[in-house]
Structure formats: structure tokens, C-alpha cells
């Protein structure tokens, strides 16, 4: 599993500032669940194109091959994700940065999970842990599932930023990340989860809310936010088009955007994508990119509202494969 964490609108160093690598991971038993392997977005020159087939040295896949590969990881159905409908944030709110985990699935997919990152409304932070009697309840508003994190240990932290990382397994983590104190020191806090442990893994997109509890009573809430967790996907390109798996929990009116370059914050090119709902893929027209021939890093962002970068629910980034422009 690989880890990406960014903080702030300009992509400053993240909460943990680290990269974690592990062996193959799975996404759980819900929509888009996988079994391990690797994927490529069009293949390297003279390579197989990423799906294990022999392209006989072809640089690009045919359109049917690309469509078939990207569509094979889409689940058959999912619960509809409704619009935002929750109270205004109180004491805590979503924001403070962006992070995600991604790794390989056994069936040739990549699995990506977005962190639930939120911040304390008071600039001085909010006490958590130790003798505060406080816990966090995560609610999947789309599926009506919830789980509660109760911290271990005796230490009380003045928390400025919070991070819950479902990782590629799309499960409640054994630790959550905290930025604490006036200098924002990053700590990992262990704890125990009770409730629905599958709330992150049953489908790719859901709306979530996090509540801060004290002695079991709600004293703060983030409001709701859209997040993608356990999103299984593959990508393959032709000379003119890029196809990426579209999970059925995606709404047709959400925005899809390709960002080309090492950083989504400072792309060398960008292009909106289309929903091909019946085919189970996103499509990006590569002929609209004003780029020199070559190989480029890229990512695909999905958001329920614009601007896409600031409101993205997930960022799908291949593990090792470039976009090929010729």
C-alpha cells in the first residue's frame, strides 16, 4: 500500500509527511471489492498494455480492449448517494488537508481510499483522549451504518487536525492521526472501534459525518462530506481516449477531471471527463490536451461540485504507469 497526504490548498507537506509501503491489499466485500495484482493505463512501449494480454508490441490498446479492461472492475449495483443534507459544522469540520491510500488488488485492479480528514473549529484545538471521556462516531449517511472510535491510553491531546485512514482494506483503522499542540506535532492514537466495521467497504462512494462525543452525547459534528473508499479501478488508453473504471455509486452529475503532471495542484494540462454509464467507465478525450509527445504522470479526480480539486471525493492515481501522448 502507498500513501499520499497533502495539506492546504497549495499542497504543502501533509499531516504525516510519510510514505507507507506494504504487500497486496484487498478492498473488502462491497462494491468494487478486489483480490490483488497490478494495473496499467495503456502500457509501456512494447508492453502488454497492463491487463496481462499480449499486444504484440502495440503501444496503444484498441478501443474495445480499453473499454473492456476499465469496465471489468465496476460493481453491478450500489445504493444511490443523495445530495448534502446535514447541519452546519460544530466544533469540528471537514478540511485541513487531503490524503489517500492506494495499493494493488488480486484481480488486476488498483484500490484507492480517501482519508476522512477534519479539523477543530477553535484554532487552539479540541481536547481528546485521556480523561476527557470523548470518542468519535463515524456515520455513513448513505447506508445508515456507523462505528465509534474510543481512544486508548491516558494522554490528553489538544487536537488541531484529525485523520481517519480506511486504507485499501476500507476498514476502520487501529490508529487515527492527530496534529496536536501549537506546533502541530503529528501523533498516532490507538483505540477501539465498535459498531459497523464494514461502513467504509460496502460501496465506493458514500456521504459521511463525524461526530465528537463526550460521555456518549454529541457535542460537535463535521456536517457531511462525500468520500470514496475501497474504490477498485483499472485504466487503459487508446491513442485518443483514456478509460477509467466508473463505480455505480457515482452520480451522473458529478464532475470528472484528468490532471496531467506530477502534482494535481499544478498540472501541465487538464481535461474534463465524461460518464459512460452503460459501459461502466469514465472517458477522457486525449486529443484536447496540448502536450508534446511523451509519457506523463496523471490522476483522475471525481467531485460532486466545482472546483473539482478543492471538492474531490477521490483522486485516482496509477501506481506506476504513465499517460502516453504521441
pLDDT score at 106: 77
Among 193, 228, 263, residue at a domain's last position = 228
Please indicate, yes or no, whether residues 97 and 136 belong to a single structural domain of this protein: yes
pLDDT score at 148: 98
Please indicate, yes or no, whether residues 222 and 119 belong to a single structural domain of this protein: yes
- Kindly calculate the radius of gyration of the chain based on its CA atoms and give it in whole angstroms: 20
pLDDT score at 54: 32
Please indicate, yes or no, whether residues 135 and 185 belong to a single structural domain of this protein: yes
Please indicate, yes or no, whether residues 106 and 200 belong to a single structural domain of this protein: yes
Among 205, 228, 251, residue at a domain's last position = 228
- Look at residue 291 and tell me whether its pLDDT is greater than 50: yes
User: Does 105 map to a domain?
Assistant: yes
Please indicate, yes or no, whether residues 224 and 262 belong to a single structural domain of this protein: no
pLDDT in tens, 143-186: 999 999 999 999 999 999 999 999 999 999 999 999 999 999 99
pLDDT in tens, 298-318: 999 999 999 999 999 999 999
Task: Tell me the residue range of the domain where 316 lies.
Answer: 40-79+230-325
Lowest mean pLDDT among 32-36, 204-208, 231-235: 32-36
Please indicate, yes or no, whether residues 168 and 213 belong to a single structural domain of this protein: yes
Please indicate, yes or no, whether residues 261 and 313 belong to a single structural domain of this protein: yes
CA distance 130 to 121: 21
- Look at residue 39 and tell me whether its pLDDT is greater than 90: no
Q: Which residues contact 65 (CB under 8 A, 6 or more apart)?
A: 49, 51, 53, 236
pLDDT in tens, 45-66: 223 333 333 333 478 999 999 9
Lowest mean pLDDT among 1-10, 102-111, 254-263: 1-10
User: Does 218 map to a domain?
Assistant: yes
Among 228, 261, 279, residue at a domain's last position = 228
Q: Could you report how far apart the first and last alpha carbons of the chain are, in Å?
A: 31
Please indicate, yes or no, whether residues 105 and 195 belong to a single structural domain of this protein: yes
pLDDT score at 50: 36
Reading the block at residue 37, the C-alpha cell is 495484482
pLDDT score at 171: 97
Give the pLDDT band (50/70/90) at residue 237: very high
User: Does 249 map to a domain?
Assistant: yes
User: Does 1 map to a domain?
Assistant: no
pLDDT score at 9: 36
Percent of the chain exceeding pLDDT 70 equals: 83
Please indicate, yes or no, whether residues 247 and 222 belong to a single structural domain of this protein: no
Total domains, the chain: 2
pLDDT in tens, 75-99: 999 999 999 887 799 999 999 999 9
Please indicate, yes or no, whether residues 157 and 135 belong to a single structural domain of this protein: yes
pLDDT score at 41: 40
User: Does 201 map to a domain?
Assistant: yes
User: Does 21 map to a domain?
Assistant: no
Please indicate, yes or no, whether residues 283 and 296 belong to a single structural domain of this protein: yes
For residue 61, the domain's CATH number is 2.60.40
Task: Output the pTM of the full model.
Answer: 0.86
pLDDT score at 4: 65
Residue of higher predicted confidence among 233 and 85:
233
The average pLDDT across 249-276 equals 97
CA distance 243 to 25: 23
pLDDT in tens, 116-137: 999 999 999 999 999 999 999 9
Residues present in the chain in total: 326
Q: Which residues contact 208 (CB under 8 A, 6 or more apart)?
A: 116, 138, 139, 140, 141, 224, 225, 226, 227
Amino acid at each position: 500500500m502507498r500513501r499520499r497526504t497533502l495539506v492546504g490548498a497549495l499542497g504543502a507537506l501533509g499531516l504525516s509527511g510519510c510514505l507507507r509501503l506494504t504487500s497486496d491489499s484487498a478492498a473488502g466485500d462491497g462494491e468494487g471489492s478486489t483480490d490483488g495484482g497490478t494495473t496499467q493505463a495503456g502500457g509501456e512501449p512494447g508492453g502488454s498494455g497492463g491487463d496481462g494480454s499480449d499486444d504484440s508490441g502495440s503501444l496503444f490498446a484498441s478501443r474495445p480492449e480499453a473499454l473492456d479492461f476499465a469496465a471489468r472492475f465496476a460493481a453491478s449495483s450500489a445504493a444511490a448517494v443523495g445530495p448534502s443534507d446535514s447541519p452546519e459544522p460544530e466544533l469540528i469540520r471537514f478540511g485541513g488537508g487531503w490524503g489517500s491510500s492506494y495499493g494493488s488488488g488480486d484481480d488486476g485492479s488498483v484500490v484507492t481510499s480517501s482519508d476522512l480528514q477534519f479539523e477543530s473549529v477553535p484554532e487552539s484545538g479540541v481536547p481528546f483522549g485521556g480523561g476527557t471521556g470523548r470518542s468519535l462516531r463515524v456515520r455513513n449517511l448513505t447506508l445508515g451504518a456507523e462505528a465509534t472510535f474510543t481512544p486508548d491510553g491516558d494522554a490528553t491531546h489538544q487536537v488541531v487536525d484529525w485523520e481517519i485512514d480506511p486504507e485499501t482494506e476500507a476498514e476502520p483503522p487501529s490508529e487515527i492521526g492527530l496534529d496536536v499542540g501549537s506546533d502541530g506535532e503529528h501523533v498516532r492514537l490507538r483505540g477501539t472501534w465498535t459498531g459497523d466495521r464494514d461502513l467504509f467497504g460496502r460501496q465506493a462512494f458514500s456521504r459521511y459525518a463525524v461526530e465528537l462525543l463526550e460521555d456518549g452525547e454529541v457535542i460537535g459534528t463535521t456536517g457531511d462530506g462525500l468520500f470514496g473508499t475501497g474504490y477498485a479501478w483499472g485504466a487503459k488508453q487508446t491513442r485518443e481516449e483514456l478509460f477509467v473504471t466508473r463505480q455505480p455509486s457515482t452520480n451522473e452529475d458529478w464532475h470528472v477531471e484528468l490532471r496531467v503532471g506530477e502534482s494535481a495542484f499544478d498540472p501541465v494540462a487538464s481535461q474534463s471527463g465524461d460518464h459512460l454509464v452503460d459501459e461502466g467507465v469514465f472517458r477522457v478525450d486525449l486529443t484536447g490536451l496540448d502536450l508534446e509527445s511523451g509519457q506523463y504522470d496523471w490522476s483522475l479526480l471525481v467531485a460532486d461540485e466545482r472546483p473539482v480539486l478543492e471538492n474531490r471525493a477521490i483522486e485516482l492515481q496509477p501506481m506506476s504507469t504513465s499517460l502516453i501522448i504521441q
